[in-house]
Copies of this chain bind each other. A is one copy, B any other.
Amino acid sequence: MGAFTFAAIGYIKSPYAEKFAVPRQPGLVPSARAQLVLDAPYRGEALRGIEAFSHLWLSFVFHQHLDRDWQPLVRPPRLGGNAKTGVFASRSTFRPNPLGLSVVKLLDVDAKTGVLTLGGVDLVDGTPIIDIKPYIPYADALPDATAGYAPQAPTALAVTWSDSALDTLKQLQQEHHQQFISEVLAQDPRPAYKKQQLDSRQYGVTLAGLNIRFKVESDRVLIETITSFTNPSA
């Protein structure tokens, strides 16, 4: 009594190879497509009727953090990375139980192969899923709820591409990822404390199998270079 073991029902295939640059909440990057590939027992009939729901809740495991301990106080990025708040007043990935919760858009269902195509995803490639539930607006949508330090979505920055980055994207025939990459970087993935100061550093991130180098100038993101990166899930 008091301990419960759950088995993964499937895994996420996502363009986010690493935690850096994953948006803070689902839905902030609408172009983020991912697939949930379910294990055999969870295909077919277990999915009957799911296509009638526009959105799903995914319960998942922060699998990259299983060996890291939690602390009672965390520093949410929304508080600038300095102020502390209780772990249960946050959605920090370092929690007593490394359990995540994400609402995603359901774009397509292939019940036979157990593949759900999802939009607005904020999950790293390889994330284990332990439950899927339909989103029920009459119970789940509380637009008047008050939410302490995170009352609104974070402000998105403008994103500019250098000519050479855009040329490379075309040469690699990856233009279909341009919108996704722009939406991710508009969220400013830098550590919160960097946003308080002048920061001329160039950052790198891997998205959709592309290695992207960018910097942030006041309220604008400049994408400087793109190179191809071999990533099986791209």
Contact = CB atoms under 8 A, between A and B. Distances in A.
Interface residues of A, number: 71
B96 A9 contact: yes
Contact of A97 (B9, B27, B45): B9
B44 A72 contact: yes
A9 to B, nearest CB: 6
A55 B88 contact: no
Interface of A: 2-9, 25-28, 41-42, 44-50, 52-55, 57, 59, 61, 66, 72-73, 84-91, 95-99, 101, 103, 128, 130-153
Contacts of A49: 85-86, 89, 148-149
A147 B139 CA distance: 11
A4 B130 contact: yes
A55 B145 CA distance: 6
A57 B96 contact: no
B146 A91 contact: no
A196 to B, nearest CB: 20
